Chains A and B, each alone.
Chain A
Amino acid sequence: MSEAAVDMPPRKSELADPVLIRARGITRRFGPGLPALDAVTLDIRQGEILGLVGESGSGKSTLGRILLGLIAASEGSVTFDDMPMPPLRPTEAQIVFQDALGALNPRRTIGQSIALPLVNAGWSRERRADRISELLQSVGLSPSDAARYPHQFSGGQCQRIVIARALALGPRFLFLDEPVSALDVSVQAQILNLLARVQAEAGLTFLFVSHDLEVVRHFCDRTAVLYRGQLMETGPADELYDAPRHPYTRALRASVLNGGGLPELVPETPGSDAAPGGCRFAARCPKVRPICLIERPPERPVGPDHTTACHALTD
């Protein structure tokens, strides 16, 4: 801990901020049965860090991939900077995965890996070399590391390399798909600090996927909660952590381990899936009502810049 903990000015995400990505009624089906994403409507504002939480299989990665134009939505529309999608250019948006080592070609030096987007964009050899040195330094590595191979780096260093590659073409939007989930807590702190710095320096917009509510509260401006493809709650990150409204967000919050023993949880009643028309969480919800099984609750405001989709909270 040789570096002192320097506080940055708190960011703020306002309702009035310009919207960078506007997703409307995104549905994605991967086959028969319930869709992986079910009419998700979400705005990502310019310069904000939006956290996306939910259990595995809730559609977090699918949503990110649709927003990047990597896969198509079955229904609904996405606009980027008010332009319809696709095509989204790699100069605008990039992605960082959880498995950094797996995202790097083991037979290429990291310099070659970082160069690839620059080659594709037609950069000259000299400009590429300069840019690679600059990028490596900006993520806390040395320019001489460019000649080394991925296996010579630790997990945290690989994540730095992947971040450098994602930043190569100066994108405005990064989709960070569980970038710190596989890292040890000390390395996680290093990567979160690095991401916060590059975000602030270039005014980037992040969609940050995590299943760790504490990390999201720390790192994000706003949080969106997905449950089996449906958006449950969206609001300021602090508020979602300190005063969650939706029963599912409350259940998530209750399962955070922070000192002391194991929290008491509402037992899950598996196997009773909701009917396709209703709220997906109804089968596990402690506040379930008959209407929840039939009709999907609309999103309603429950506070400033805070919406939730729940029948039990409307009256």
Chain B
Amino acid sequence: MCALRSLPSPQTKSPAPAAGVEVTGLNISLPGPRGRSAIVRDLSLSCAPGEVLAIVGESGSGKSLTSLAISGLLPEGAHVTGSVRLGGRELTTLSERKWRDLRGREVAMIFQNPRGSLHPMLPVGRQLIEVLRLHRRTRRVEARAEAVKLLTRLGLPDPQNLMLRVPHQLSGGMCQRIALAMALAGRPRLLLADEPTTALDAAVQVEVLRLLAETVAEERIPMILVTHDLAVVEAVADKVLVLYAGEMREYGPVSSVLQRPRHPYTVALTASGPSAAHRRGRLPQIDGTPPAPWDRPPGCSFAPRCANASPICQTELAETGNAHRLRCHNPAEAAHV
């Protein structure tokens, strides 16, 4: 990870030094079967330029919704309070018009299914040039030259030829690199990657992760990486936020949170992957399922599944820590792992 940071940048044309993203007290609620319910509650995070922040959690924990809130893509009817600031600018109060100007340019996104984010019938070069012309307002010839440069920088061989192909002629990894090129076309000040390598094979996953890490370091862009794969977090992220039922459980540097997890949920998550320790045996599992948003118990929402739960967990939520934040009354010992 650190070695990647020192790679020479082939071309540095970053805009004015971009500040990071700062989320404070974010609440997102959606209309549901039992009236409006809070999906994400009291979430705060920050990500500095050149830093990778991973948000991990199970499906339904609100991690994708958080990233949609940051990119202004929340579904109709969603209600947001709290603040999301990018480079000092408040995003939650922006009009849709302002968002259209910002999204894709200053806030760029990469999704899980790279083919799904490309038009299936158009050559990928044409799609990339279109984005470049839109964001940089240049002429076609210049956009084409820029496209070739961008693809070369992303390590794609023979870009001229590649640009003539349509998505189905390219592998998943290639499509994800094209998607990354399109995301970088607007020289973004924030990169949001939602499960960017989940659909890729192991070797391709490593290549795409490396590319993302290098890009973020070279361009000094903050990146928020949404994933459920702790191995991916360990490989590329600097900080990690563990979400459970829409709430922060543990938040801090990867080296601290994943190496010495304190919250019983993080401890259980890190233990439930297959590893040499419990080969062939029964995997440690967390029994039960997360609560539905309209059914969330008071106090700590993990308490019903938690082995360490005590009566106070049913009524109150405690928060401790500064660099490594934790919401738990009965955390595991610091030297657990």
A211 at the interface (CB under 8 A from B): yes
Interface string of B273-290 (1 = CB under 8 A from A): 111001111111111010
Chain A 165-198, CB-CB to B under 8 Å as 1, else 0, gives 0000000000000000000111111101100100
| B269 close to A192 (CB less than 8 A) | no
CA distance A265 to B283 in the complex (A): 30
A189 interface neighbour in B204, B210, B228, B284, Cβ under 8 Å:
B284
- Which chain A residue lies CB-closest to B270? A185
**Contact partners of B232 in chain A: CB under 8 A:** 257
Q: How far, in angstroms, from A271 to B165 measured CA to CA in the complex?
A: 13
Which of these, B2, B201, B273, contacts A56 with CB under 8 Å?
Answer: B201
- Is the Cβ of A218 less than 8 Å from the Cβ of B280? yes
Return A150 CB to nearest CB of chain B, in Å: 15
Given contacts A56-B172, A251-B203, A271-B157, contact A7 B209 (CB under 8 A): no
Contacts A2-B307, A255-B203, A257-B232 given; indicate if A189 touches B1 (C-beta within 8 A).
no
A270 to B280, CA, bound (A): 37
Contacts of A251 in B (CB 8 A): 203
B271 within 8 A of A: yes
Tell me, yes or no, whether A295 is within 8 Å of chain B by CB: no
Tell me the bound Cα distance from A262 to B272 in angstroms: 21
- Are A2 and B287 within 8 A (Cβ)? yes
In the assembled complex, A10 has its CB within 8 A of some CB on chain B: yes
* In the complex, A134 has a CB within 8 A of chain B: no
Interface residues of A in 225-275 (CB under 8 A from B): 238, 251-252, 255-263, 265, 268, 270-271
Interface-facing stretch out of A15-23, A26-34, A154-162: A154-162
A259 nearest in chain B by CB position:
B234
From B2, B289, B307, residue with most partner A Cβ within 10 Å: B289
Q: CB-CB < 8 A to B236: which residues of A?
A: 262
Would you call A217 and B279 a contact (CB within 8 A)?
yes
A214 near B274 with CB under 8 A, answer yes
Chain B residues with Cβ under 8 A from A81's Cβ?
A: none
The contact of B285 among A3, A56, A238, by CB within 8 Å, is A3
Within 8 A of B (CB), among A206-223: 211-215, 217-219
**Residue on B nearest A9 in the bound complex, by CB:** B280
Instruction: Check B275–A214 contact: CB distance below 8 A.
Output: yes
B274 touching A186 by the CB < 8 A rule? no
Cross-chain contact A265 with B272 (CB below 8 angstroms): no
Answer whether A3 and B279 are a contact pair too, CB < 8 Å, given A154-B60, A252-B202, A263-B206: no
Q: Which of B155-214 contact A (CB under 8 A)?
A: 157-158, 171-172, 201-207, 209-210, 213
CB of B280 within 8 A of CB of A1, answer: no
Q: A55 contacts the other chain (Cβ, under 8 Å)?
A: yes
Complexed CA–CA distance, A151 and B179 (Å)? 31
A184 touches B58 (CB 8 A): yes
Picked from A5, A186, A217, A263, the residue with its CB within 8 Å of the CB of B281 is A5
Query: What residues of B have a CB within 8 angstroms of the CB of A1 in the complex?
Result: 264, 268, 271, 284-287, 307
Contacts of A189 in B (CB 8 A): 272-273, 283-286
* A155–B278 CA distance with the chains assembled, in angstroms: 25
Chain B residue nearest in CB terms to A187: B58
A186, B288: Cα distance in complex, Å: 10
Complex Cα gap A213–B206 (Å): 14
**Which of B58, B202, B282 interacts with A213 by CB under 8 Å?**
B202
Q: In this assembly, does B73 line the interface, its C-beta being within 8 Å of a C-beta of chain A?
A: no
Asked if B145 lies at the interface with its beta carbon under 8 angstroms from chain A, I say no
Report B132 CB to chain A, min CB distance, Å: 25
Complex CA distance for A179 and B207, rounded to whole angstroms: 25
Q: Convert B225-238 into 0s and 1s, putting 1 for each residue whose CB lies closer than 8 angstroms to a CB of A.
A: 00011111011100
- Residues in A neighbouring B4, C-beta threshold 8 A: 262
For A263, the chain B residues whose CB sits under 8 A away are 206
Which residues from B are CB-within-8-Å of A11?
A: 280
Contact across chains for B279 and A218 when beta carbons are under 8 A apart: yes
Q: Which residues of A contact B210 (CB under 8 A)?
A: 262
Interface centre among A3, A185, A219, A251 (most CB of B within 10 A): A185
- Taking CB atoms, residues of chain B closer than 8 Å to A268 are 203, 207
Give min CB distance, B21 to chain A, whole Å: 24
Given contacts A186-B58, A193-B283, A217-B279, contact A265 B203 (CB under 8 A): yes
A147 to chain B, nearest CB (A): 17
Instruction: Identify the interface centre among B1, B59, B264, B285: most chain A CB within 10 Å of its CB.
Output: B285
Q: Once the chains are docked, how many angstroms separate the CA of A55 from the CA of B58?
A: 25
Contact with A190, one of B1, B229, B285 (Cβ below 8 angstroms)? B285
Do B202 and A185 have beta carbons less than 8 Å apart? Answer: no
* Residue in chain A with minimal CB distance to B283: A189
* Most chain A beta-carbon neighbours within 10 Å: one of B1, B231, B273, B274: B274
Are A262 and B213 also in contact (CB < 8 A) when A2-B307, A255-B202, A257-B235 are?
Answer: yes
Residue of chain B at shortest CB distance from A221 = B280
Contact check, B273 vs A6: say whether CB atoms are below 8 A apart.
Answer: no
Contact of B268 among A157, A186, A257, A270 (CB under 8 A): A186
Residues of A within 8 A of B289 (CB): 154, 156-157
Of B1, B171, B202, the most chain A CB neighbours within 10 A belong to: B202
**Residue interface mask A122-151, B partner, CB < 8 A = 1:** 000000000000000000000000000000
Sample 21 A-B pairs with CB under 8 A, ordered by A number.
Answer: A1-B271, A1-B307, A3-B285, A5-B281, A7-B278, A56-B201, A156-B289, A185-B230, A188-B273, A190-B285, A214-B273, A218-B279, A257-B206, A257-B232, A258-B275, A260-B235, A261-B1, A262-B1, A262-B4, A262-B206, A265-B203
Lowest 3 CB-CB distances: which A-B pairs, in order?
A: A218-B274, A7-B281, A257-B231
Seen from chain B, the residues whose Cβ lies within 8 Å of a Cβ on chain A are 1-4, 58-60, 157-158, 171-172, 201-207, 209-210, 213, 228-232, 234-236, 264, 268-269, 271-275, 278-287, 289, 305, 307
